[in-house]
């Protein structure tokens, strides 16, 4: 299975995403923001970073990149698309996902290992997890506060489209910080579209795909350092099932 990873000017985590795809058993395909061509990939990842320097708003310029016209069309046609951090912001700006990402409530950049609860494991990206499973993956952002009108929040909750939610760790809180790290409404860390093929989340699963190089979660029943690998392994499983 071939999974494209888009690089914009200012992207930071494209190589990490490509590596995660390879470790999961897939073929990562680099895609350039200036090319209106997806090169026949089966899915697309929009990785983290500060695309176009996050001028205007995070992800606001990226939505107009030539590659995004193809990504939007493919997503509307059912292709799995994952937006991580800045990629989540781009998906919101491109109207593939509702709501918006604004500055963290405390107005500071945050970087920490973050516990998440899997709220929806029926998407191609989350099928490797169990419902209500708590995983821990790195979080690093400054524009990570998810906001939306109340009717949109109600719709997301009613339709089961909240995919990940910020929760407490085993010690009662993540590393001594507040449970909700950036003030996101309803503690939302990730959502999906109505079809379930497009998922956006703020934390970084591509940084938790190798034992010894990802967050540890002693006593909470998860695999050490591998909690993010399920995102990519689940996708490949879903694609294989469709082949």
Active centre residues (catalytic): 85, 204, 206
Question: Closest Cα partner for 102 from 203, 202, 206?
Answer: 202
What is the rounded distance in angstroms from the CA atom of residue 64 to the CA atom of residue 103? 22
What is the rounded distance in angstroms from the CA atom of residue 167 to the CA atom of residue 220? 13
Contact, 31 vs 22, CB < 8 A? Answer: no
Q: Which residues contact 168 (CB under 8 A, 6 or more apart)?
A: 115, 174, 179
Q: Coil, strand, or helix at residue 109?
A: coil
Contact, 131 vs 164, CB < 8 A? Answer: no
């Amino acid at each position: 299975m071939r999974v494209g990873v888009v690089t914009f000017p200012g992207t930071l985590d494209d190589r990490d995403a490509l590596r995660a795809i390879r470790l999961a058993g897939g073929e990562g395909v680099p895609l350039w923001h200036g090319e209106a061509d997806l090169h026949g990939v089966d899915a697309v990842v929009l990785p983290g970073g500060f695309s176009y320097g996050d001028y205007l708003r995070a992800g606001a310029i990226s939505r107009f990149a030539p590659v995004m016209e193809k990504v939007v069309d493919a997503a509307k046609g059912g292709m799995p698309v994952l937006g991580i951090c800045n990629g989540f912001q781009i998906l919101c700006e491109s109207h593939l996902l509702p709501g918006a990402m604004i500055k963290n409530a405390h107005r500071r950049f945050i970087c920490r290992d973050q516990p998440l609860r899997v709220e929806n494991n029926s998407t191609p990206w989350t099928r490797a997890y169990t419902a209500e499973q708590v995983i821990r993956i790195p979080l690093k952002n400054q524009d990570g506060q998810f906001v939306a009108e109340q009717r949109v929040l109600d719709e997301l909750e009613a339709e089961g489209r909240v995919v990940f939610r910020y929760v407490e760790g085993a010690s009662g809180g993540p590393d001594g910080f507040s449970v909700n790290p950036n003030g996101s409404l309803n503690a939302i860390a990730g959502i999906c579209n109505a079809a379930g093929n497009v998922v956006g989340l703020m934390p970084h699963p591509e940084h938790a795909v190798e034992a010894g190089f990802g967050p540890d979660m002693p006593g909470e029943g998860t695999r050490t350092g591998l909690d993010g690998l399920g995102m990519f392994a689940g996708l490949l499983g879903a694609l294989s099932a469709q082949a």
